[in-house]
Every structure is written in structure tokens, then in C-alpha cells.
Amino acid sequence: MNKDRFGNPHAPALPYARGRILTSTEDDFRKLRQCWSIIRTHGPASVFVFTGLEHGLAMTAEEIQWADDELAPAIYLDRLKALTLQHLGGSEEFHDIAVFNRLTAATLATHLTLVRPGDVVVGVSASHSHPTVIRAAALAGARFVDTVGVDEFARALEREPAVALVVLTRLAVTYELMPLDAIRTAVKLAHDKNARVYVDDAGGARVAPAAFDHPRMLELGVDLGATGLDKYGTIGPRFGLMAGDKTLVGQIRAKGFECGLEARPMLYAAVVRTLEQYRPERVRELIASTRRVADALRPIVGARLHETPTTAQLLADDLLTIAMERGGVDEPPIVEDHRMLTVHFVGMPPGTANILFKFVRPETLERFGGPDKVAHAVDSALTRLGRLLREPERIKHLLFGDALKGTKTDDEARGGGTRGGKTGGVSERSDG
């Protein structure tokens, strides 16, 4: 079992340890409720979205007029299909498309269709597969084997007698890119094993071609794959867009409709709009904006700033180490207050425990006050976190709001205020 730097075992299907505060997805939802209450208090216009994701709904009044599950597909489906195949490198002759309510839903429907109980699913990426892939395999009754790099992948294929599906992640959760030659080798090895290849191309579908000169998704020779419409150059909605072999996509689409995993057809106009406005230059603009944030953070955290070609990160273990140093705490017992909404508030559970800056909108960065102000906010939050580590119960109040209702802390009993009671809207999981 994997462990973090402090010896805590990672939670099942997650790349980080759970603590005594955020113990489950139920707790993650409580955390979201508290975040929403903070946004409500400040007002949405005063909150700065630094998630690097687009979770809005871009539709005109005319499009909303025809937002009906029967009418909208009649108007928009043909255009949607043509744009999707162009976006993902497919052809009308060999490929079809499907729209799911999230990328997770596309991955789940794929596993429920192509995998049988007892089958083996092998993941391959530059670091590790997303938790949603692991859960989808489990729900299908399969045994999941994760591999890093093409050499480990090849050994897994040799070892496993019956691999039904290979899930290839081009841009990993850690934002490490799998090299193109390794991808092509992995696809060939999988097909030689008679395994189908599904690409979890969440952000890679745009980032890899726009910034790293990769082919489009279906030009990799895979059977099918899906991308998220909330990621990197698109403008939402948070749908999963699938394309691939006609027969396979048809079967998976049917399974999606049977299980309620499909996107509402009434919103197809929003998918058309996001694909029509996409331009690769926007991806490069977002990466450049993120680099400005990295440049401002580097003098503050030094070598602890983890950088990839597209992101700036404070890894969870480093984050907690810095906070412990600043708080004078020897054992990890967890953050807030600049109205910055970060990526940990868009997933349940979060896919990572790191502070992650990715694909930062330059418009949001300037409205906030620029990269130096972002760096100052991170610096301030780390110091505040260090102080909170001395009083773990206050962290519950920070994350859940009502956790301390009806109780008094030592300071309050002495007549003091509740320092941890002010919550401004940026919190990162770091509960050890």
C-alpha cells in the first residue's frame, strides 16, 4: 500500500491519505457546502475562480429557447458530431460520438459495456491513472492493474492472460505527459494482445496537440476515448465527450442512456458553442499565464515548488511540511482566506491533495491583482495553516462551519475570539 511522507497509508483508489477530518466523500460534500456558504456570503462576483476549469454554461437566449431534450438534438446533433470528429481527429466513415454528463460517466459506461466480471483492465500513464478509472473497473467487477510507462505496461501485458481493456492516460493526474512514441508503442502492444484501447484524454485532447505537437486523440490509432469539455481551451459545460469506433461508441452510448449517464440533449447547443470557439492558441495563453504564477511562487517556496510544463504545484507532503515548520508543530495533526476558489472544490473526492495552479485564466489573474498577489495569498495561507495545526479542532470549523457549534475552545472559554472562525473561501486538503 502506498503511503505519504508521514507514513499515512493512501486511501483506497486515491493518491493521498485521508485524515481524521475529511474521512470520506460525505465529508468532502460537507466541505463543499461550507465553501458554497462562504461564496454566498461574499457574493459570487467577489470570488476568483483559480480552478483552471470551466464549469459554466455558455448559451444564448435563442439557444435556451430550444433547450428541450427532443428539440435541441434535432437542431444541433449533426453539427455537434461534425465538430467533435474534427476536434478529436475522427472521420464520419469509421467513427461516432456520444455526450455524457461527465467524463467520469463516459469512463464508467465504457467499462460497464466492454468489461466483464473477472476481466483485467490495465492502466498506463506517466504516473498513475485517475481514481475514476480505478472505480469504474471495480464497478464492472474487473481487476485493475496500473502501470507507469511503456516498459512496465509491456510486462503487465505479458503477465496477464486476459486483458479486456487498456486505459491510456495521455496527460496524467500529475500533469506529466506520456511521450508520443511510448503512446504508439502501448497502443500496438495492446492491440497485439487483442485488448481495446480507451483514452482518458481529459485535458490531453487539447493540451497535447496545442502545446506538444501531438496528434489529435483518434489519430493515435486507439479504439475510442473521451475528453472533458471543462478543460483547457473549452468553456464548458462539464460534460464528457466521447468519440471512437462506430460499433463500440454505439454500444457504450446505449449503456449510458440505460444507466442515466448521458448528458441532457437539451444542452447540445452549449457543446456546439464550446467546440466552435476553441482555438489552440488559448491553451498556450493559459499555460503562459500559469508560468507567471509559478515565477511569483518560486521565490517564496523555492525548491519545494513542483513544476511541470503546464502547472505549478505545492505537493501535499511539502505543503504540510511547510505549514508544520511555520506553526512549530512536530506531528501532523488543516486553510483559507483570499476568496480564491481552487481545484479541490470541484471534485468529490478531490483527485489530488496538492495545491495546483493550472491553465490560469489571464483575465482572472489580472482581476485578482496579478501573480505576485497570488503568491502572497499562498504564502499567507501556509502561515495560517501552520497556526491552525496547533489547534486541529479549529480546522473542522474552517472546513465544515458547524463542527464546533455548541462547544467552546480554550480561547473562547477565556473570553478570546475564534481565530479559525473567519473563512474567506480558499481551502486545501492537508489533514495528514
SS3 334: coil
- Please name the residue that has the C-alpha cell 512514441: 181
Stronger pLDDT, 14 or 48, i.e. the higher one = 48
Predicted confidence at residue 346, as pLDDT, reads 64
Cell of 233: 481551451
Cell of 195: 485488448
Q: How far is the C-alpha of 427 from the C-alpha of 409, rounded, in Å?
A: 21
| pLDDT grade for 38, boundaries at 50, 70 and 90 | confident
Peptide bond into 209 cis (omega under 30): no
- Show me where the domains of the chain are located: 25-54+281-421, 70-263
> At residue 430, does pLDDT exceed 70?
no
Q: How far is the C-alpha of 193 from the C-alpha of 289, rounded, in Å?
A: 43
**CA angle 260–263–269, rounded 5-degree value:** 155
| pLDDT grade for 17, boundaries at 50, 70 and 90 | confident
- Is residue 122 within 8 A of residue 153, CB to CB? The reply is yes
Encode pLDDT of 366-380 as tens digits: 999 999 999 999 899
- Is residue 50 within 8 A of residue 360, CB to CB? The reply is yes
Written out in words, the top-level CATH class of the domain with range 70-263 is alpha beta
The values of phi and psi at residue 115, to 5°, are -120, 140
Q: How many other C-beta atoms lie within 10 A of the C-beta of residue 416?
A: 10
Encode pLDDT of 65-102 as tens digits: 999 999 999 999 999 999 999 999 999 999 999 999 99
- Which alpha helices (H) appear in 235-361, and where do they start and end? 246-258, 268-277, 280-301, 316-327
Predicted confidence at residue 223, as pLDDT, reads 98
Find all residues with CB under 8 Å of 163, minimum gap 6, and list them.
Answer: 119, 120, 121, 122, 157, 190, 193, 195
> At residue 103, does pLDDT exceed 60?
yes
Q: How many other C-beta atoms lie within 10 A of the C-beta of residue 237?
A: 23
Encode pLDDT of 311-345 as tens digits: 999 888 888 888 888 888 776 654 345 677 776 66
- Is residue 377 within 8 A of residue 340, CB to CB? The reply is yes
- Whole-number percent of the chain with pLDDT over 70: 89
